[in-house]
Each structure stands twice: as structure tokens, then as C-alpha cells.
Structure 1
Amino acid sequence: MPRKMLQFTHLHQRQPDKRGAAERRKDFGEISTAFETERAAEQASRCEQCGIPFCSIHCPLGNNVPDWLMLVAQDRMEEAYAVSSSTNTFPEICGRICPQDRLCEGNCVLEQSTHGNVTIGAVEKHITETAFAQGWVKPVLAGVESGRSVGIIGGGPAGLAAAESLRRKGHSVTVYDRHDRMGGLLIYGIPGFKLEKDVVERRIRLLAEAGVKFETGVEIGKTVSFAELRKRHDAVLIATGVYKAKPLGIPGSDLPGVHAALDYLIAQNRRDLGDTVESLDAKGKNVVVIGGGDTAMDCVRTAIRQGAKSVKCLYRRDRANMPGSKREVAHAEEEGVEFVWMAAPEMVNGKAKAEGVKAVRMHLGMPDASGRQSPVAIEGSGFQLPADMVIAALGFDPEDVPALFGAPELKVSKWGTVETDGDLMASLPGVFGAGDIVRGASLVVWAIKDGRDAAESIHRYVSGVAMKAAE
């Protein structure tokens, strides 16, 4: 039944139902149930259909959010999927893991007017899952084959988004990845309770059906040289992401029992995928996770599910200044995580292995260059936290790509990211960059945006069309 829009005056915001904390602590399944069709349409009808859609403006992909909300409210679901997928390569993934509270939903006019934002992410997920169930999601049609070939290094969101776009234009596309599966952090870095792995694998199968070729277990510079890769293809895209953990930089950080966040998350994701891996298990342990971003939230919530004795998150600023999603913090608290705000680690205690974390209380001082207040240690405020497992979740830096690839002529920034021009072309002709390896550690939605943009530039390059940056 078609519904009128602007129903926010009498329909309250309702998120999809969540499984209870006690239940979801027992497994790695997604915590939210799917919207029922009627509720999804009702929630979509709350949209104000703003003249200036701030939800779209604050979406890196520029998704036409008001349009597909209106189509859902009118029960025109196939059209809603067509509009949603026209700007987003992986709407079913963004609907699950985008920090909507910081992007579209956080900037919804209804949120600013205290009516409660439209539940955009949940409706986006509902649209795509309906489309899959109805058989509307098909492999891309290449049309006329171009005879041009593109190699993509990295099977994460940027690389896969570029692969889809390039294949649609008729180019031959091969994606190379050093892991044994495609998906990058979507598979190995993000826990199943946020993104179940069959959702990613389903999309990768579609890309394979479209003719994208995948080669796993390929390390550029070892398995094949970068020079050879450039000879194989008319253009190459570097979309490796950033995997090198930022160091704790405190005494004791090299003790057994201290782990990098990504090592810890990869181990659990591999278990969920059925692999036999070295045990990195928090069962029965006192766990301290150091950091305040989304990766830290992934770690604390994983430790809870593994049966840790206690799980504490140590963060040097307060809740208001935490970089991670506020929703993820709330989920973690519901599941039993304890947050130790305004505290920073000074050292990891222990002789043969980690036994605790010595920390100091902080207060927020003057703003730094970014405008955020700088945390300052309070003298004489030191305290101890028991910990036989310490996880460092301080973010990621780029690996030394020129050294790994054996390509010293490839220019990188002072931060180690690959330097590109306005067309996302690197310092070498026909070599492009996209995603975190260009912009630094960021969001999946930005990686998708970069991958799509790089694909447009690559298409122009291999087609012999003048590049925009040179025009």
C-alpha cells in the first residue's frame, strides 16, 4: 500500500529489533533482526523529502537517499533497489557497517529537529536483501568487450568496487590478493556480528559470474613482480588498504599476550570461516583493549563472545571525544564491556608474559592542531588493571609499498600513502591508487567511492581519452 511521506509527525523512529545481549554474547551472528516489510515502509515514510537532502550530501557516495525512501514507502521495491545500487556497489554492506550516526542519519534534518532520524541504514539493508530474495540482483553485463585489461592489487572494498565498474565497461579485470580469499577487511577484519561473511561471499560470486577473475595468494614483489604486472595489463590499480598496526610504544608492549588488533580479529574471522588457526582466544582471561575507534569496539565485543573473564576498554579521552561509533559503544556496554575513560597506558606489566597494564588518569587540556582537546596526564594518578591479554587497537599505517613491490620509483607521501593526482593516477604512467592506501585508514564507504572514481579514470586512460587532471 503506497504511503504518504512526512509521516514523522505521528510515527516515531524505530530501529530494527536487536537480539538480547545475553543471547548475542553466545555467537558471532549479526545482532539486529531484519526489518519486516511493513515496518520498513513505515519508517521510510517518515522522511521529510528535504529540499536540501543533507543525508545525501553527507554520504561519501552521494546516495539518493530521499528517492529510495519514497520508493520503499510506495512499495516500489525493485525501483528502490535500482536507485540504491546506481550509486553504491555494495548497498547491503554499507547498510550494515556504515557509521550512519556520523554520516547520513546523523545529518538527517529530523535528527536536528529532535524528531529522531530516519533509519536509513536499516532501510538500505532491507532494500538489498529484498532484491536478493526476489532475484533482482544480477551480475553486471559487460556489453561490448573493450579488449583492454586492468590488474587490481587488493580484493577489499576499493578494489572490488573498481572491478565491478570496470567490468561493466567491458574491460578484462583481474584482482590479485595475498590472502586466500577475496574481501580484504570485509572478510578478515570486520567481525561477523556486524557483517556475516556469506553477505560478502555472495557479492564476490556475482563479480566472478560477471567475468572478474580472482587470483588469491599472490604477493606482489614475491609471487609476481610489479613490473611484470604492469606488462600484463594496460593499467594497474593499487588498492591494498593499510594493515600495519600503529605501535603501542610503551615498555612491555613486546611481551607474550600483547596482540595487534587485526591479528586478533583475523584469527576469529578465520575460525568463523571454518579455518584451523593459531589460537588467539580470550576465554577465561582478563582482557584490556587500548584504543577508542571502531576496531577497538570490534575487539572488545569479540573478547566478550570468546568468554573472557573481564573486558575493559582503555581510552585516553572521554565518551564525547571517542572516534568510534556511539552505537557500537552502546552495544559493547550492553554486552558487558567496561570502559575506562580518560586513562592512558604507561606500560604492560609482566615478566614472562603480560600480567597487567599500568595506566594513568588524564584530563583534557588545550586543543591540538585538529581542534580536539589534548589529553594530559594527571601527576600521581597511576593505577593498575589486571590483564593477561592486551590488544592494541590504535589504528593502522600503510606498509612500505615501494619496498614490497620492488618499485622505488613509486612516490609515497610522508605518511607512506601512495601519492596520486586528481585522477587518482600515481607517479607511474598507468598506475592508479584507491582507498586507504591513498587516503589513510578510513571507512569502507570511502573505499567504495574511491574505487568507483578510480575506475572512471582508468576507463578514460585505457580508452585513450584525455585525463581530467591534464585538461
Structure 2
Amino acid sequence: MATQKMLKFVTLKKETPEKRPADQRAQDFAEIYREFADAKAAEQASRCSQCGVPYCQSHCPLHNNIPDWLRLTAEGRLQEAYEISQATNTFPEICGRICPQDRLCEGNCVIEQSGHGTVTIGSVEKYITDTAWEEGWVKPIRPSMERPESVGIIGAGPGGLAAADVLRRRGVQVTVYDRYDRAGGLLTYGIPGFKLEKPVVMQRIEQLEAGGVQFVLNCTVGKDLTFDAIRGQHDAVLIATGVYKIREIEAPGSGAAGIVKALDYLTASNRKSFGDEVPEFDSGELNAEGKRVVVIGGGDTAMDCVRTAIRQGATSVKCLYRRDKANMPGSQREVQNAEEEGVEFVWLSAPRGFAGGTKVEGVMVQRMRLGAPDASGRQSPEVIEGADYVEPADLVVQALGFEPEALPTLWGVPELAVTRWGTIKADFRTHATSLPGVYAAGDIVRGASLVVWAIRDGREAAEAIMDYLAQSASVAAE
């Protein structure tokens, strides 16, 4: 019976794909996890308890049909497993690599709660999708019927690309505008190759292009092309720009050379992996080789920066975070990987300023302790008086999070409503903005968040745009 292939969590232990040794993987930007073999993927998938109420699915932002494709994998029906996984997720091969499964699906697995160790959902998802690409199961989009309506999407990150995929499958003409020379947004230039190798992103973009999605790259809206011009060319517009403005430290000495923004630093490194000319990297400005590096921040971007610095040959890499390890926002799995690779974490510490003159020589650090909880329930850090010291540094990377750019001002559309945080104000169901026919999705609406949430928002916005196009066509026909 098919059911005998499942429910094996009692006899089979949790196993994750083998990690490359830390000293080996710290020498390059290749992904650190090896691939599951076919038998191992089936074995680990068979540990799923096939619960009646699958918490893994309900805690996935995309509500992926996880138990179904785990069962199909256990039965060796990989093509069907892939079809089920991609039915709700535009980029399963990407989510399988970079989603914080420990906080989402795997962290809410029923057998994890019972003490048997979670099903390794992300690794199986990555395996079945990589197999799908290798076997040629991933086909270009071929709409059953072409439609005359066109949609312009501003931003070629995960939200914009997810919407483009949904719309194109319905036959809509789609044009994606992006400021960079390659599509993918932070998938391409923000996330390092050791978490997400770039051919994985490029093959998906090529699939979208082969399916008829048009890309207009090196195009900065408000500079190379006005927002009104884009609105005039399309029946509907989706804003999916993400949030790219780095929060900067305002402290004595913050203007010194050697203090850089996380995104600039990561982008330079990723561009080198493509073989691009990067003068800021070659000059040493955005290169950690031979330097004492201090990264300020505790999120996933900070983890990307410290692990990149290790691979670039820094003499030392330290991460300053104002709370303790239990309260940091980044993935605990990423912290573990960083520690294995030689990163030193300096908990309960915050910058008060920077030592040196025109060139940074160190970070003036305030020691902290955790006090009473704040409004979110997390303990607030408090300064320990008289415990300051200077942490020597040749390169300081600011990784304190991202904020939205002032799009109404940059684009000359003051009527585009924003929230008090500067994010675009959009209906939480339809993603419609204050402008007729204009929608917004992803981080530019919800603030800096996960790739999987951007994919969900993009897919939802695409469905709402389809309803809007249908209503417009109905009105035009009357």
C-alpha cells in the first residue's frame, strides 16, 4: 500500500544534506549544502506523518501543498511532485535554498513538535526542483490564448517576477522594468552565491523571457523613463521595487572611508562572480581581503556580509549585535554556519561612533544589557555605563536593514499614497494603490521581509490585476 511508504519518522532519523567542510567552503562562493541523492530524498520525504491539519502548509506564506509532494517524492513520482510544488510557488528551487524553513514550514512540523525531528522540507523541495530542471520538466510559458492587454511591472525582484509569471500564463503581455543590468533584484545582486548560486536565478529569468516576458533593464524610473509614461503604455502597472535604502548609523566619524553599506558590499561581490568589472572592488574599497572587518547588524543581510568577508580573505570578521543570540532576527542556521566558518559574534554591543580620521580605524563600542520588554515583547537593550571600548577595524559594513525610497517624490507622483513609514499604501487583499490601475506588492508595501512573502504578494497582485482587466474589458464592451 502507498501509505506504507509514509509515516516512517518513528524508525528513520532526520537527516539534512551534508554540508561541505567549513575550511573548504570558506574558500569559494559555491553553495555549502550537497544535493540529496534520489534514495535519500525519498527516505526523508517518507518521514512525513501526513497530518490531517498540516501545520507546515498553513505556516508557509504560499500555503504550498507540502504533504502531497512529500508523499509523491517518497513514491518516486518526482515529476508529479514538481508539478504540485510549482502550482503554488513560482520559484520552488529558490525557496528551497533560501527560505528560513526553521521559522516557517519545518519549524511548525508536527513530528518536530513531538520530538522526532522535522521533515527536511526545504532540502526535498530543492532536490525535486533541481531534478525537474535537469530532466527538462520545466518548460517555457505557453499561454493557451494571447490577450491584448499589457501590464508594466516596475522591479525585477521576486515579487515582480512572480507576478510576471502568473500574468504571462494567462496570456497578458508583460513588460518588466528594472534599474539593474540583470533581472532578479536581490536574488541576483543581494544574496551571495553560497546561499543561492546565480545560474539558478538566471535559468528562471531565461524561462520567463522564453515565455514572452519582456525586460527593459538599466532603466531607472523617474530618470530614464517617467512613471506616467509607463502608465500610459500599459493597461495596469505593478510596483514591485523592493526597499533598497540602507539605514545608516548617524554617529561621530560615520563619514570616514572604509564604512560601507551592506548592499553596496554584497552587490560588488556578486558582480565579481559574474565576471563584471567592479572598480570599487578592485581598488579595495569593497573588498575585505587582508582587512579586519566589523559588520554591524543581526539580520540575514549581516550574516551574508560576514560570510562573504570570510571568503574574500579577511584577517578577522566580527559581527556586532545589540541584543543576545536568542533575540537576533537572523536565521539561527545562518549564525551556526557563520560561526563554523570563523566569524566571531560580539553580542550585546552597539556602535557609539568610529575611531580614526578620514579613514576608519575602529568602532567605538558600547556594551549593552537587556532590560524590560518593549512593545513587541522583546527585551530592550540598555547601555552599560563605563564599559565602552574600541574594536579595531579596517572595513565596517552597515547591515541595519532597509527602508523604502521616497517614490512619490522620485517619480513625480505625489498622489501615490504612502504610509507613515514611507511604504506604499495598498489594499492588503487586492494590492491596489491610491492610483487607478496601479498595484503594489512585496517589500515596498510590507517593508523589508522574506523572498517567499514577496512571491506570495506578487502572485496575489497578479490575480487582482486579472480581475481589474476583466472589469475594464466589461465596461469597454458596454
Report the TM-score, using the length of structure 1 for normalisation.
0.98
Match 2:432 to one of 417, 425, 432: 425
Matched, 1:455 2:433: no
Aligned residue in 1 for 2:115: 114
**Amino acid of the structure 1 residue aligned with 2:213:** V
* 2:318 maps to which of 303, 307, 312: 312
Q: Could you tell me whether the CA contact under 8 Å between 1:460 and 1:466 is conserved in 2? A: no
1:336 is aligned to 2:337: no
Measure the CA separation in 2 of the matches of 1:111 and 1:405. 48
User: Does 2:383 correspond to 1:382?
Assistant: no
In 1, distance between residues paired with 2:473 and 2:379? 46
Aligned partners of 1:436 and 1:442 also within 8 Å:
yes
- Determine whether 1:182 maps to 2:183: yes
Is 1:392 the equivalent of 2:393?
Answer: no
- Separation in 2, partners of 1:99, 1:254: 34
1:85, 1:379 → 2: CA distance?
54
Q: Percent identity?
A: 64
Within a 5 Å distance, the mapping from 1:285-324 to structure 2 comes to 285-324=291-330
Q: Does 1:10 align with 2:11?
A: yes
Q: 1:33 aligns to what SS in structure 2?
A: coil
1:93-142 Cα deviation digits (max 9, x unpaired): 00000000010001111111121100000000001011111111111221
Provide, for residues 193-233 of structure 1, a one-character-per-residue CA deviation record: whole Å limited to 9, x for no partner.
Answer: 00000000000000001100001011111111111111100
1:441 paired residue number: 448
Distance 1:54 1:348 in 2: 47
Aligned to 1:233: 234
Instruction: Report deviation, 1:466.
Output: 11
**CA shift for structure 1 position 237:** 0.4
Shift of 1:436: 0.3
How many angstroms apart in 2 are the aligned matches of 1:306 and 1:136?
37
**Counterpart of 1:141 in 2: which secondary structure?**
coil
1:352 Cα offset (Å): 2.0
1:164-179 residue pairs with structure 2 within 5 A?
164-179=165-180
**Residue correspondence of structure 1 range 66-145 to structure 2 within 5 A:** 66-145=67-146
Alignment of 1:350-389 (within 5 A): 350-389=356-395
**CA separation in 2, counterparts of 1:86 and 1:151?**
24
CA distance in 2, matches of 1:144, 1:215: 24
Determine the C-alpha separation between the residues in 2 that align with 1:261 and 1:340: 18
Q: What is the CA–CA distance in structure 1 between the aligned matches of 2:385 and 2:412, rounded to whole Å?
A: 48
Aligned to 1:248: 249
**2:83 aligned partner, one-letter code:** A
Unaligned runs of 5+ in 1: none
Q: Which runs of 4+ in 1 moved over 4 A?
A: none
Distance 1:133 1:323 in 2: 35
Q: Find the aligned partners of 2:430 and 2:42 in 1 and give their Cα distance.
A: 40
Contact 1:154 1:240 in 2 (8 A): yes
- 2:352 corresponding residue in structure 1: 346
Post-superposition Cα deviations, 1:362-406, rounded to whole Å, max 9, x if no partner, equal 111111111111000111111221101000100000001111111
1:442 alignment partner AA: S
Checking the alignment, whether the CA contact within 8 Å between 2:355 and 2:390 is kept in structure 1 is: no
Residue 462 (structure 1) shift: 1.2
Amino acid at match of 2:237: V
Contact 2:49–2:111 (CA<8 Å) still a contact in 1? yes
TM-score by length of 2: 0.96
SS in 2 for 1:220: coil
- Matching of residue 260 in structure 1 with residue 261 in structure 2: yes
Residue 409 of structure 1: which of 388, 410, 415 is its match?
415
**SS of structure 1 residue aligned to 2:251:** coil
SS at match of 1:463: helix
Deviation by residue 1:289-321 (Cα, 9 ceiling, x = unmatched): 000000000000000000001000000111110
Tell me, in whole angstroms, the C-alpha distance in 2 between the residues paired with 1:194 and 1:23: 15
CA distance in 1 between partners of 2:189 and 2:235 (Å): 30
Letter in 2 for 1:431: V
Residue 71 of structure 1 aligns to a residue in which SS?
helix
Q: Which amino acid aligns with 1:254?
A: G
Q: Answer yes or no: is the 8 Å Cα contact 1:250–1:348 preserved in 2.
A: yes
Secondary structure of 2:30's aligned partner: coil
Give per-residue Cα distances to partners, 1:243-267, cap 9 Å, x unaligned. Answer: 0001112211111000010000000
Q: Residues 136 and 38 of structure 1: is their aligned pair in 2 closer, same or farther, counting only changes over 3 Å?
A: same
Q: Secondary structure at the match of 1:464?
A: helix
Letter paired with 2:392: P
Partner SS for 1:114: coil
Q: Bigger shift: 326-335 or 141-150?
A: 141-150
